[in-house]
Chains A and B, each alone.
Chain A
């Protein structure tokens, strides 16, 4: 209820102000303009005050190879804006005209077929929210080069709503022979990046995607069409998809032998380590940020699992002596980001904070030491250890 007397007195006060500032109209504040704003635009753009929120480019000699990290600490919710989705490219981003693009499906099929984008758009489609995470994401934690911010340490990670045709629907068109066991997916980038995927996963939930967050996907994400392989390492989500070959064996491309394999202390390497296991990271407050002083802060971050849904996230604000249950934002989707939060009062003393998550298979995110004990130090891909941040007494936050 508005207090009538207060209202009258503030009106009187405004009247006095109006005498000295005659240009101000009733209801105006200092930031409200008295001239028209910018005209309408055909394609939206973000505030000029948000231009610092950008991907960070990995250092390398070849600008057309390498990665661009997502600024996780600057994002909200569970969807990564398409323009900020992380990039990992091996031979540049090809410029593909969708009107001319075709996908060949052949090999151990009853009827080899070539599909154009127009064919895909007529087929039954699904839209699903899924994260994509590079196998090497946060491997620096184990390497000893952890990165100072969530972007640097965990930024080879994003989550989008993907729209496309289930790969199983494409294979219903061609049919598959009883001897089929694997499928080779090949991109139309200059290096014709190619990965083998087991048929069980192919028929389960892989999407031949053309949409990302409600519009056509970005060129660096595979325009006009890519595979989305829910929960599996980023590299198998083959971009610029041009060919699918049904086979009775894996092709053993360099990307599934020389790379993305995990070398163990005994000299053997794990191969076809596809699933990205449950993992979480606090994105605010986090490394690179500074607390302005003691008091209330919401701790927030993301959790995800390549095996299914996140069922719980715990946060420690005392170096692991105790863990508190964080709130997880509904709806929680399988193989997608889950946003968690915990109200927190910082008392101004130095300590370390971290999150750990559990997925619906009962698997709980392990500590760095447990991963090193199981796999040694040479396997840095598929790392999913608990991530600690150190809060110093002056409010500065760093890797712990």
Chain B
């Protein structure tokens, strides 16, 4: 058995070397211009990479929110299920039988708030908010969750530095986490 195992390991290693050693270049596809890549690339990383220039205040965000978000998420982010989920509150509920998962109680990165608004909101017209409006809305939601002060400004330098309450709330996948005894079929 051991010899077979060793042989197949060696065979697999040789196969893997073949695969990686020999790059199949098919000469298909075209090279994008740097401008094309910039236009397509909307990724925002937790360290702020990808955030555009611009800024917004809590007060500005409150106005944008009332205009574009309150219809589904309620006047102050309390949510209006099933139209829109709650965006504020829930801190301290994660261990309860009725956890309330919001930007403030659950989301680990402030950059994700900006990224999600930018990608997906407002629901019916995503991608129509300016960078300034997106910073302002992010500021308003962080303020509504008690994470920043009323006079704080959000921009590409400050946003990644915002420490979210549930920043350390996530753990890797340990599965399989359940071992069933008595596994033998009859």
Contacts and interface: CB of A to CB of B under 8 A. Distances in A.
Interface of A: 59-62, 65, 90-91, 104-106, 111-116, 119, 122-124, 169, 172-173, 175, 184, 186, 190-194, 242-243, 245, 247, 249, 251-254, 257-258, 261, 263-275, 277, 312, 314, 322-325, 358, 361-367, 370-371, 374-375, 377-378, 382
Interface string B83-109: 100000000001101010101001111
Given A270-B171, A271-B173, A252 B109 contact: yes
B176 interface: yes
Interface string B30-70: 11100011001111111000000000000000000000000
Contacts of A116: 29
B186 A266 contact: no
Contact of B171 (A111, A173, A269): A269
A168 to B, nearest CB: 8
A299 to B, nearest CB: 16
B99 A119 contact: no
A377 B97 contact: yes
A191 B170 contact: no
Given A113-B29, A172-B23, A191-B126, A249 B45 contact: yes
Interface in B66-84: 82-83
Nearest to A274: B173
A277 B82 contact: no
Nearest to A191: B120
Interface residues on B, range: 35 or more
Contact of A267 (B36, B94, B180): B94
B41 to A, nearest CB: 7
Interface stretch (B1-9, B111-119, B130-138, B143-151): B111-119
A359 B101 CA distance: 34
A172 B185 contact: no
Given A267-B95, A274-B173, A191 B31 contact: no
A253 B186 contact: no
A190 B128 CA distance: 11
B183 A358 contact: yes
Contacts of A184: 43
* A-B residue pairs, 10 tightest by C-beta: A191-B120, A113-B29, A267-B94, A254-B116, A267-B95, A364-B180, A271-B170, A119-B28, A273-B173, A115-B29
A245 B43 contact: yes
B129 to A, nearest CB: 13
A186 B26 CA distance: 24
Contact of A123 (B26, B37, B111): B26
Contact of A257 (B25, B37, B108): B108
Contact of B41 (A122, A243, A312): A243
A390 B120 CA distance: 43
Given A257-B107, A258-B101, A269-B170, A263 B36 contact: no
Given A119-B28, A252-B46, A257-B107, A364 B183 contact: yes
B185 A325 contact: yes
B170 A61 contact: no
Contacts of A312: 185
Nearest to B28: A119
Nearest to A313: B185
A114 B31 CA distance: 6
B183 to A, nearest CB: 5
A370 B182 CA distance: 14
B38 to A, nearest CB: 10
Contact of B186 (A175, A245, A247, A323): A323
A264 B106 CA distance: 13
Contacts of B185: 312, 314, 323, 325, 358
Interface string B12-31: 00000000000111101111
Contact of A114 (B29, B94, B106, B109): B29
B178 A271 contact: no
A277 B36 CA distance: 40
Nearest to B37: A106
